Amino acid sequence: MEKNNKIEIRISGMSCTGCENRVENVLKNIENVESVNANYNTGIVEIETNDIKDLNINVIKDILEDLGYDILEVL
């Protein structure tokens, strides 16, 4: 998958592999999301899609906030 089809979001609040799994499982169900990799050590959530323009970043940010995480930046 090409790099321009990936976004990274830095969040705070992930503290264990359970947090990683929770984030990954929820975000994988969003339309146009192909894969998700969350890393609690870095606080980075990588989201891959076939077409970045079809991915609604605001929906993803809202979901992460609803899960209790703070959005620090979109990379």
The pTM score is: 0.90
Q: What is the CATH number of domain 3-74?
A: 3.30.70.100
Q: DSSP of 4-71, one letter per residue?
A: GGEEEEEEE---SHHHHHHHHHHHTTSTT--EEEEETTTTEEEEE-S-GGG--HHHHHHHHHHTTPEE
- Sorted by where each begins, the domain ranges of the chain are 3-74
Residue 73, classed as helix, strand or coil, is strand
Confidence of residue 3 (pLDDT cuts 50, 70, 90): low
Tens-digit pLDDT profile for residues 4-60? 799 999 999 999 999 999 999 999 999 899 999 999 999 999 999 988 888 899 999
pLDDT at 2: 47
